[in-house]
Amino acid sequence: MPCPENYKPSQALLRLSLRSRGQEYPRVAALHGIAYVADPTRPRAERIAWCVCVLISSAAALGIIVTLMDRFQTDPMLESLDVRLDGAPIPLPKIYVCPPWESFEENGANKKPGNDVYRRLYKWDLSRPLHGVNLTSSDESARAREFFVQHSPKCESFIRNFSVNGIQFNCSSFESFFGSAGKCFTVPSVDIVIDTVEINFSFSPRFYPTRIYVALSEDPDVLMHLPFHIFLFPSTVTVDLQETYTSPEARVLARFQRKCYFPGEQPPVVKCVLDCQVANSLEHCDCVPWYLARVGVKECPINRYECLSSKSAEILDVSRCLCRLSCANIAFKKVQFDMKSASENCDMKIMARSKVKFRRTVRFGWIDLLVSFGGIAGLFLGSSLLSGVEFGYYFSLRTYCGAVLTAPKRRYNITKIKVIDGVWSVSYPTGTRKRLVLPRDETTTYDYVN
């Protein structure tokens, strides 16, 4: 249905109506002090004083609101300690025992021409430049990962006298694994859980340094440059675990605010970091280093490692991927380290589960933010939610209606006139006696057509 012409005011009428609303709004607004600033009948000094008061109050309210908003965006969570009264036992994490390069040399890697190049590449993890290695003269078809897999050591040539809580295990119990940390062997879990009993792993490696990685059950791999511990000689390392859980109310916050993820929001943090490094490497060098190679991803030939070395900082930068820890996180921490004699084994002790957890709760949510904003606006300016609705009404619907109603009056030359009549009014207060009140003026407005 077409809109009648009477409801289509011109731009000039809309501007005139907007100007009238601008003069009318300060007289009826609920904001404190605005009416005194806009009243032309008041002395100029008084209006200036009220204007200064309104500006100071507005600046104070805006400053506090900005501060609260920044705190809400960056630190809305509160960490505290909680005592665990019950709970399911924690499955044993995946523990990887990774041999050094010397075990590869014993398995024939030292017989390969260019052995020094492969040795340097196996120990390189993009965290430092790759200097002093002749990469340009290498064969374009040579792939480092294939070489490492071919010459990786066997469990029997590396691990001896392995036991868990005094129970001996042979190499058939280990699972061979080749991932981002190179060749590793996974410690058998044998249905062990972390609860009220200390767990002790003991083994004697044939080569040092031996790297140890600890990963949760949902992590498909480990980060090569972040080993949990490196055994340089026989010693004992004691491990404690820290449990952190987050209240479900934190779901209403964004991940960058709570700094963790709930199930289904992102893959595990290790997979997220590795996927991000793969994407960065493909973007800058169109291939990936040997320890990031996987099915469907192109591995760099050795002569392309010069590109990887020059772009190592960009490849390791995973800030754009926003990889967060789980909101129900379990972290392993070294709490004690003891040296042992050269003839003894390397030991790793996992302490019994503590009854104390870390609890993360929301200390400043959306409701708190709304209440704070309302309180600040009401305290400094006398404003409320309806004040905003009123402001929008005056400068939208009321402006339009004013322009529409002004159009016919201008078309028919209608002028407003005021008639002042003197009338007598009689007041009857409580009681029987009547009292005559002096006359007063009454103003009546009429529309007059010329």
Question: Is 314 within the bounds of a domain?
Answer: yes
**Residue 422 belongs to a domain:** no
- What is the C-alpha separation between 15 and 12, in angstroms, rounded? 5
388 is a domain residue: no
363-390 residue pLDDT tens: 877 888 888 888 888 888 888 788 888 8
What's the rounded Cα separation, in Å, for the pair 279 and 287? 9
How many domains does the chain divide into? Answer: 1
Question: Where does 364-430 have alpha helices with state H?
Answer: 366-381, 385-394, 397-411
Taking the CA of residue 10 as centre, how many other CA atoms within 13 Å lie in the half-sphere pointing to its CB? Answer: 8
377: in domain: no
| Residue 277 belongs to some domain of the structure | yes
Residue 258 belongs to some domain of the structure: yes
Question: How does pLDDT run along the chain (450 residues), one tens digit per residue?
Answer: 455 566 777 788 888 888 888 778 887 777 788 888 888 888 889 889 988 998 999 899 999 989 888 888 888 888 777 877 666 778 888 889 999 988 888 777 666 655 778 888 888 877 776 665 655 555 555 678 888 888 888 888 888 888 888 888 888 888 888 888 888 998 876 677 777 778 888 999 988 999 999 988 888 888 888 899 999 999 999 999 888 889 888 888 888 888 888 988 888 989 999 999 999 999 999 999 888 888 888 888 888 888 888 888 888 889 888 888 888 888 889 988 899 988 889 999 988 887 788 888 888 778 888 888 888 888 888 887 888 888 888 888 888 887 777 766 555 455 555 555 554 444 444 554 544 444 544 555 544 444
Task: Say what the pLDDT of residue 213 is.
Answer: 93
Label residue 134 exposed, middle or buried (CB < 10 Å: 0-12, 13-18, 19+): exposed
Residue 118 to residues 144, 151, 278, 309: CA-CA distances in angstroms?
Answer: 7, 11, 21, 15
Strand 356-362 with 235-246, pairing: parallel
**Token reading at 4:** 């009648």
What is the number of other CB atoms lying within 10 angstroms of the CB of residue 139? 11
Residues 95, 212 contacting (CB under 8 angstroms): yes
Helix or strand run (H / E) with residue 191:
none
382 falls within a domain: no
**Is there a domain that residue 31 lies in?**
no
Structure tokens, 280: 């960065």
Compute φ and ψ for 248, nearest 5 degrees: -60, -20
Residue 221 CA: distances (Å) to CA of 94, 230, 308, 318, 440: 10, 18, 21, 17, 92
User: Domain range holding 149?
Assistant: 83-362
pTM: 0.69
Is the distance from CB of 71 to CB of 364 less than 8 angstroms?
yes
- Strands 440-449 and 414-423: what pairing? antiparallel
Q: Which residues pair with 105 in a beta bridge?
A: none
Task: Give dist(CA 128, CA 225) in Å, integer.
Answer: 11
Q: Who contacts 181 (Cβ-Cβ below 8 Å, separation ≥6)?
A: 96, 98, 211, 213, 221, 222, 223, 224, 227, 291
pLDDT in tens, 115-136: 778 888 888 877 776 665 655 5
Is there a contact between 186 and 96 (Cβ–Cβ < 8 Å)?
A: yes
Secondary structure string (H, E, C) spanning 352-377: CCCCEEEEEEECCCHHHHHHHHHHHH
